């Protein structure tokens, strides 16, 4: 592996900032999180619809397989709870033909419901020059479409180096962009959904990958930092794949092989920083294999119609970046509970 790839994989999230259409969005170090942790839990039936009316006694929470006491429990109606959606269009990691498919579908979504968004929504566009993003969310779909007209280039102008080295640059810029957007979202209250419309960025992982012990430690810390950044900002990440599974960037190797979280530096792999993996582990969804991009976006937004918020008080970790696997079970037949996969505790 080249030295540049190693620097990208273990340092990109720690860079100073990310270019936006409104100046620089700095990536400030995350403050120490409060002792109490909150989880958004989606509960669905076998048919995929939300399951409502459950009580706290129906839920069990496990922390590293050990029962964890639930401190608070609330069933939330998404239509009245503070919720924000960021719809990010990833031009940098897409081909022109992909963008030509996306554009009418994006307009279709923004102009649905007579142009009235279900939740305050922000439009962002990622190119190799940085992120152009609105300064504040809006529920005016027509206004959001006009913003997209301004931000989205009519002709793709990606001047990154082609091939392997161009892929290195896209990884770096993608992870910087993710950090910058989440830092901006963190400033606002409530639950946030980050819908990343993209085939995904390259992932340099596999048996031929070699990292020194120091690089493994730095990579593990970066994985932990990204995970905690999303959790503390209350951001759930969704991957909207405009290509579908047969054409995606993971066509030769499935992202599922990277889903198991590393619990120590020697287990860390760059694949854990893939968009699909980050989305799944945040409690979001990987949506694709469909030409109905507007429908996929709508499905992600519908995730907030009804959900449960539970909290717990974790014990202090024994070491830095100590991974804790979380699991929520519901004592009702035929239902599935989905939440973020875990957290990285600190002493």
Write the pLDDT tens digit of every residue in 20-69.
Answer: 333 334 444 554 554 799 999 999 998 889 999 999 999 999 999 999 99
Mean predicted lDDT score pLDDT of the chain: 85
The answer to the question of residue 111 being in a domain is yes
- Mean pLDDT within 11-21: 40
* Residue 189 pLDDT greater than 60, yes or no: yes
Question: Where in the sequence is the domain holding 141, given as residue range(s)?
Answer: 3-31+79-304
Tokens 């082609």 locate to 162
- Tokens encoding 305: 């119609």
The span from the CA of 179 to the CA of 226, in Å, is 8
Least confident of 84-93, 94-103, 264-273: 94-103
- In a domain, residue 239? The reply is yes
Residue partners of 100: CB distance under 8 A and separation at least 6: none
Report whether pLDDT(249) > 50.
no
pLDDT surpassing 90 at residue 244: no
User: DSSP label at 247?
Assistant: T
Evaluate whether residue 101 is within a structural domain: yes
Give the chain's domain count.
Answer: 1
> Which pair of structure tokens corresponds to residue 161?
């180096």
Q: Quote the pTM value.
A: 0.88
Of the candidates 126, 119, 45, the residue with the CA atom closest to the CA atom of residue 84: 119
- The verdict on residue 251 lying in a domain is yes
In a domain, 338, yes or no: no
Q: Is residue 85 part of a domain?
A: yes
Mean pLDDT across 273-291: 92
Q: Point out which residues pair with 87 in neighbouring strands.
A: 123, 195
Provide the H-helix boundaries in the chain.
3-11, 96-111, 141-151, 163-185, 213-232, 275-281, 293-301
* CA-based torsion, 188, 192, 193, 196: positive or negative: positive
| Average pLDDT of the residues in 70-96 | 92
CATH of residue 298's domain is 3.40.50.410
Q: How far apart are CA 110 and CA 195, in angstroms?
A: 14
Q: Which residue has the tokens 């499905």?
A: 299
Q: 62 lies in a domain?
A: no
């Amino acid at each position: 592996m080249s030295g540049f790839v190693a620097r990208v994989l273990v340092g990109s999230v720690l860079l100073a900032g990310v270019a936006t259409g409104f100046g620089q969005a700095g990536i400030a170090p995350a403050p120490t999180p409060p002792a109490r942790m909150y989880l958004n839990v989606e509960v669905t039936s076998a048919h995929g619809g939300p399951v409502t009316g459950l009580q706290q006694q129906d839920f069990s929470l496990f922390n590293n397989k050990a029962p964890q006491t639930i401190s608070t429990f609330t069933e939330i109606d998404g239509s009245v709870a503070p919720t924000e959606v960021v719809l990010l269009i990833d031009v940098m990691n897409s081909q022109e033909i992909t963008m030509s498919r996306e554009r009418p579908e994006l307009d279709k979504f923004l102009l649905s419901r007579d142009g009235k968004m279900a939740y305050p929504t922000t439009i962002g566009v990622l190119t190799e020059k940085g992120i152009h993003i609105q300064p504040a969310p809006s529920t005016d779909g027509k206004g959001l479409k006009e913003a997209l007209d301004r931000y989205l280039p009519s002709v793709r102008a990606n001047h990154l180096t082609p091939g392997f080295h161009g892929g290195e640059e896209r990884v770096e810029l993608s992870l910087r962009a993710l950090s910058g957007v989440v830092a901006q979202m963190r400033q606002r209250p409530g639950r946030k959904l980050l819908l990343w419309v993209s085939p995904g960025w390259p992932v340099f992982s596999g048996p031929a990958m070699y990292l020194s012990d120091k690089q493994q430690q730095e990579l593990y810390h970066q994985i932990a930092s990204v995970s905690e950044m999303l959790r503390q900002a209350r951001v759930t990440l969704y991957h909207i794949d405009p290509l579908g599974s047969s054409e995606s960037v993971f066509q030769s190797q499935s992202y599922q092989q990277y889903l198991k979280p590393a619990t120590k530096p020697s287990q860390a792999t760059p694949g854990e920083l893939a968009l699909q993996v980050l989305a799944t582990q945040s409690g979001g969804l990987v949506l694709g294999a469909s030409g109905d991009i507007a429908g996929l976006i709508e499905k992600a937004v519908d995730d907030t119609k009804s959900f449960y918020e539970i909290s717990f008080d974790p014990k202090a970790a024994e070491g830095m970046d100590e991974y804790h696997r979380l699991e929520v079970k519901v004592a009702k037949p035929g239902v599935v509970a989905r939440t973020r996969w875990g957290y990285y505790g600190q002493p």
